[in-house]
Amino acid sequence: MNDVAPAGRHEILIVSEEVCEKLVGRAEAFKAVEGVFAAMARGEARNFPVVREALGHADALYGFKSGFDRAGMALGVKSGGYWPGNSARGLTNHQSSVLLFDPDTGRLKAVVGGNYLTAVRTAAASAVSIAHLARQDAKVLGIVGAGHQSAFQLRAAAEQRDFEKVVAWNRSPEKLESLVTVAGELGLSFEGVTLQELGRQADVIITITSSFEPLLRGEWIKPGAHIACMGTDTKGKQEVDAGLVATAGVFTDEVAQSITIGEAQHAVAAGLIEEADITPLGDVINGVHAGRKGDDEITLFDGTGVGLQDLAVADAAVRKASVEGRATLVRL
């Protein structure tokens, strides 16, 4: 038998959701996301225009996020979206898969489950922002939202500073139970609070909701706080008031997304800030921008979510799965 694949055929790797969960932990995701934010700011990695469309079927939103990281040699696309009827079938509403291609030949290299990776890379983005922008003496962590992503956010953030306490708010307070459990596992005290009280106590705040109106008001926030706005990733969504964005030092994963689909869209539309007022977090990682201006500045990270984050963690999964023999090889 001839083992050589016929012309045009080649082998690809399949990395399952289960293997991704085992191999890509918070440390790997942090490193991958920090690295790709830095590469984006150096102009070595580029996100391509996002496609997101209502299917007119199953109430679903479907789309592609793609890009190329020349520094990490990751080329690919995350495809998927939101199927609101899935939970009734015992499935996750957000569904995604990543395809990676060989940048030298364009041949498909790997197919990677994207659901777990999306959560871990989103949590890594806010964690990277906390690592580079939050005050070192931050003690109280505030979480706004208690949906699927929130526990990932809490775990990743908790590793960045010597936190003592979690304060949290959710539209339906009974859902806070999952965060109570995680805080307990992390040895942090927990208090369910109003949004105003959350602003009064928290040194670092993560917002991770699907809100379309401001939840946090500027006057509630402590001087020197760091806020990572992670829920706003679509036109019209909003988690904090535009005045807060206007007074904060604003950082983002990608400026083009921040002003169109991110938290800054409202402050920009109202003429309170301009594109030039927003700094890529990668500039801080690369040492090109100093980050926070003193202990009293409120810093805000507008985490819009970019395709290159997905490719970076998927690439990490493929590399590790290859080394450890955990990927399935398929001849295409």
Q: Which is nearer to ligand NAD, 79 or 209 (CB)?
A: 209
Nearest residue to 225 via CA among 249, 255, 242: 249
Alpha-carbon torsion 171, 252, 76, 310, what sign?
negative
From candidates 77, 141, 146, 312, binder to ligand NAD by CB under 6 A: 146
> Which of 47, 211, 252, 257 touches ligand NAD (CB under 6 A)?
211
Is 171 a binding residue for ligand NAD by CB under 6 A? The answer is yes
Residue 305 is a binding residue for ligand NAD (CB under 6 A): yes
Return the residue matching tokens 């290299």.
109
Q: Candidates 209, 238, 258, 265: give the one binding ligand NAD (CB under 6 A).
A: 209
Residue 108 has phi, psi (to 5 degrees) of -60, 130
Beta bridge partners of 51: 64
Task: Determine, following the binding rule CB under 6 A, whether residue 312 of this chain makes contact with ligand NAD.
Answer: no
Cβ–Cβ under 8 Å, residues 228 and 106:
no
Piece of 4-12, 143-151, 193-201, 266-274 that binds ligand NAD (CB under 6 A): 143-151
Residue among 13 and 267 whose Cβ is closer to ligand NAD:
267
Judged by CB under 6 A, does residue 63 bind ligand NAD? no
Query: Would you state the structure tokens that stand for residue 193, as one six-digit string?
Result: 């609070």
Q: Quick one: which segment of 12-20, 132-140, 206-214, 321-329 binds ligand NAD (CB under 6 A)?
A: 206-214
Task: Please work out the total of residues on this chain that contact ligand NAD, with binding judged by CB under 6 A.
Answer: 24
| Secondary structure class of 85 (helix, strand, coil) | coil
Q: Which helix (H) or strand (E) covers residue 191, if one does? A: strand 189-192
Between CA 23 and CA 19 the distance in angstroms is 6
Residue count (the chain): 332
Interface residue with ligand NAD, options 72, 113, 114, 145 (CB under 6 A): 145
Least distance from ligand NAD to the Cβ atom of residue 32, Å? 14
**Residues 6+ positions from 218 with CB-CB distance below 8 Å:** 240, 241, 243, 244, 247
User: What are 136's two structure tokens?
Assistant: 């070192």
* Beta carbon of residue 87, minimum distance to ligand NAD (angstroms, whole number): 9
CA distance 50 to 264: 18
In the complex, the smallest distance separating the C-beta of residue 259 from ligand NAD, rounded to whole angstroms, is: 15
Residues acting as catalytic residues = 78
Q: Is the dihedral of CA 32, 156, 169, 201 positive or negative?
A: negative
Give yes or no for residue 260 binding ligand NAD (CB under 6 A): no
80 interacts with ligand NAD by CB under 6 A: no
- Distance between CA atoms of residues 216 and 196, nearest Å: 7
315 sits in the region (left: phi over 0; alpha: psi -120 to 50; else beta) called alpha
Please report how close the Cβ of residue 146 comes to ligand NAD at its closest, in angstroms: 5
Q: Is 265 in the site for ligand NAD (CB under 6 A)?
A: no
Residue 126 within binding range of ligand NAD, rule CB under 6 A:
no
Nearer Cβ to ligand NAD (199/231): 231
Among 34, 233, 263, 297, binds ligand NAD (CB under 6 A): 233
Binding stretches for ligand NAD (CB under 6 A): 94, 118, 122, 145-150, 170-172, 208-212, 215, 230-231, 233, 303-305
